[in-house]
Amino acid sequence: MSRQMTGAQMVVQALKDQGVDTVFGYPGGAVLPIYDAIFQQNDIRHILVRHEQGATHAAEGYARATGKPGVVLVTSGPGATNAVTGLTDALMDSIPLVVLTGQVPTFMIGNDAFQEADTVGITRPCTKHNWLVKDTDKLSETIHQAFHVATSGRPGPVLIDVPKDVQFATGDYVTPEKSSTGHYAPRTKGDIDLITLTVEALEKAERPVLYSGGGVVNSGLGASQALREVVAATNFPITSTLMGLGCYPASGDNWLGMLGMHGTYEANLAMHDCDFMLCIGARFDDRITGRVDAFSPNSFKVHIDIDPSSINKNIHVDVPIIGDVGSVLDDILEVWTARGRKTNSEAVAAWWKQIETWRAVKSLAYKNSDSVIKPQYALERLEALTKGHDRYVTTEVGQHQMWAAQFMGFEDPHRWMTSGGLGTMGYGLPASLGVQIAHPEALVINVAGEASWLMNMQEMGTAMQYRAPIKQFILNNERLGMVRQWQELLHGERYSSSWSESLPDFVKLAEAFGCKGIRCDNPADLDEAILEMLAYDGPVIFDCLVEKHENCFPMIPSGKAHNEMLLGEASTQDAIDVSGAVLV
């Protein structure tokens, strides 16, 4: 039986039927009917953000922390264009988002009406798919299809543009069960012959390394479980991309730390020298590979990815397995078990000895100070004092992000939210808000730099309104730290526009928002200040004044190979040559 209702009611009904309980949004003229429908019900909670970009990042944080799609509702024109950064961010990091935008009525489309923008045109390259719904009868089915597309295969953001007359008009509501999901059905089961080939290579491997990524998080908890089983049973070393942290626990025996541009020495050298590489749900991004023609030159490479276009895009692999990483890892375990669970354990033991010598280099070591807080020290203390908590960590983008990845340990997936692919400054604060809305009782910390944090600081107002006790841990060096580092290494120490000459007083800013502000500039007071932050029942802006000129090491300069890492200040002279300088 079809049910008649208005388009606006359909939106709310479809969201309910999709299991949505939270929507992040901002009203405006072209979505007023939907807001009216939201007003008249109690199943879906609407979180009023302060800027549409904040809504998209909050929804990303929510999605990353729950495994469910994040839902955003914004108005036409500027509402939609403000959402573009969040859409692009979610596309790059494979985060499922369903974004609903209002649109001017169908009969006004194309007339340059007030707050009109070609939303589907603008967002076509930054969504997995998008729809302009011109007929109320098609609205509910389109929304159900949108959820299917956002969450199946490689997850990503989708957008549905709903003209205002479509929201007012009455039509037939179709339930998710009755609705066609279309023909979009990515393959999830890996090819068994390729899996067998992988197992054969795994059995013979002398210098193996597992390299996992965000795909393991997206695949679900079963994938992390299977990954842990594979590592435990094979005793192979494992590293992860920025996006995949937590899938294998940082406290695990086989953990090498993060790899890539600011990854550990042992992780990157293991990648370079290995003879068998199993890439699990990662995509050989340029932050990972460094110089591609010198990337792991002597290894047999297996790549598991649900997205066929990730295969052979940057790095040519020997065995491409297209499928869901959880399913493929289960199949690998099954085939390997059936063949007697063999590994070349003697060679692997020798390989571990080699890795230990790299580990002994202690590439994350830094020179601590009694007089000034080193950012690394601040994060080590934050890590130590929050370790036992039910903790989620988000970050902004820059040096602090890399230090957080290096110095904070993640034991489980869905605990770490960061803008990896797009590198969006301003991501962390709204993302932490989204996480806190999903997990009201948990400890949610945004590790931030002061420059990134200022980009979306208006969302502190949202945190206050919804009593979301997010902790903003700002490593304040009064610089755009990563830009400053590159200018030092690459542009003759000419610090062009990388210094914030006028920063707000963050403690007073906190008071202005009505939350708590804490400032700390002395290493001796740091523990106490962090404990004060943790003890406060409400949002906190923590202004941690740190060393202003600290560089983030280790570092693979752009254009260099994994075995050409810079380990510290002494090695930076002329480290980046001209061919590296054009890269980002």
Partner 1 sequence: MNALAIKKGSSGKSAYNLRNPLGDHQETHTLTVLVDNEAGVLARVIGLFSGRGYNIDSLTVAEVDHLGHRSRITVVTTGTPAVIEQIKAQLERMVPVYAVNDLTVEGQSVERELALVKVTGAGEKRVEAMRTSEVFRARVVDSTLESFVFEITGTPEKIDAFVDLMRPLGLEEIARTGVAAIARGA
The residues that touch partner 1, with contacts defined as CB under 8 A, are 120-121, 124-125, 128-129, 132, 149, 153-154, 182-184, 186, 286, 290-293, 295, 307-309, 311-316, 490, 492, 558-559, 577-583
Q: Rounded to the nearest whole angstrom, what is the least distance from the CB of residue 307 to partner 1 in the complex?
A: 6
Three-state DSSP state, 98: strand
C-alpha dihedral (514, 72, 154, 7), degrees to nearest 10: 160
Q: Rounded to the nearest whole angstrom, what is the least distance from the CB of residue 295 to partner 1 in the complex?
A: 8
Work out the angle at residue 85's Cα, subtended by the Cα atoms of residues 82 and 86, and round it to the nearest 5 degrees: 95
Say how many residues make up the chain: 584
Catalytic residue among 9, 18, 52, 396: 52
Q: Which is nearer to partner 1, 153 or 469 (CB)?
A: 153
Residues 358 and 264: their CA atoms lie apart, in Å, by 9
Three-state DSSP state, 504: coil
Residues 279 and 328: their CA atoms lie apart, in Å, by 12
**8 near 31, Cβ under 8 Å?**
no
Q: Which is nearer to partner 1, 293 or 370 (CB)?
A: 293
Q: Which is nearer to partner 1, 234 or 485 (CB)?
A: 485
**434 near 57, Cβ under 8 Å?**
yes
Catalytic residue among 115, 225, 354, 458: 115
The question of whether 367 is a catalytic residue gets the answer no
Residues 520 and 512: their CA atoms lie apart, in Å, by 19
Residues 411 and 433: their CA atoms lie apart, in Å, by 21
Q: Rounded to the nearest whole angstrom, what is the least distance from the CB of residue 316 to partner 1 in the complex?
A: 5
The residue among 15, 327, 329, 7 whose CA lies nearest residue 139 is 7
Q: Which is nearer to partner 1, 29 or 308 (CB)?
A: 308
Q: Which residue has the tokens 């719904």?
A: 133
The question of whether 573 is a catalytic residue gets the answer no
Residues 445 and 432: their CA atoms lie apart, in Å, by 7
Q: Rounded to the nearest whole angstrom, what is the least distance from the CB of residue 214 to partner 1 in the complex?
A: 17
Q: Which is nearer to partner 1, 297 or 440 (CB)?
A: 297
Q: Which is nearer to partner 1, 29 or 105 (CB)?
A: 105
Structure tokens at 400: 């602090």
Q: Which is nearer to partner 1, 2 or 312 (CB)?
A: 312
Residues 541 and 464: their CA atoms lie apart, in Å, by 12
125: number of Cβ within 10 Å: 10
Q: How is residue 173 annotated by DSSP?
A: E
**304 near 329, Cβ under 8 Å?**
yes
Q: Which is nearer to partner 1, 158 or 280 (CB)?
A: 158
Q: Rounded to the nearest whole angstrom, what is the least distance from the CB of residue 297 to partner 1 in the complex?
A: 8
Q: Rounded to the nearest whole angstrom, what is the least distance from the CB of residue 91 to partner 1 in the complex?
A: 12
Catalytic residue among 16, 114, 511, 528: 114
* Alpha-helix runs per DSSP H in 246-303: 265-273, 286-289
Q: Rounded to the nearest whole angstrom, what is the least distance from the CB of residue 195 to partner 1 in the complex?
A: 20
The question of whether 425 is a catalytic residue gets the answer no
Sheet holding 471-476, edge to edge: 416-417, 391-395, 443-449, 471-476, 540-545, 516-520
The residue among 144, 140, 136, 145 whose CA lies nearest residue 163 is 136
**244 near 282, Cβ under 8 Å?**
yes
The question of whether 114 is a catalytic residue gets the answer yes
The question of whether 9 is a catalytic residue gets the answer no
* Alpha-helix runs per DSSP H in 418-480: 428-438, 450-455, 460-465
Q: Which is nearer to partner 1, 160 or 546 (CB)?
A: 160
Q: Rounded to the nearest whole angstrom, what is the least distance from the CB of residue 293 to partner 1 in the complex?
A: 5
Q: Rounded to the nearest whole angstrom, what is the least distance from the CB of residue 578 to partner 1 in the complex?
A: 5
Catalytic residue among 128, 164, 516, 560: 164
Residues 97 and 129: their CA atoms lie apart, in Å, by 11
Residues 137 and 142: their CA atoms lie apart, in Å, by 10
Instruction: Show which residues are catalytic.
Output: 52, 114-115, 164, 482
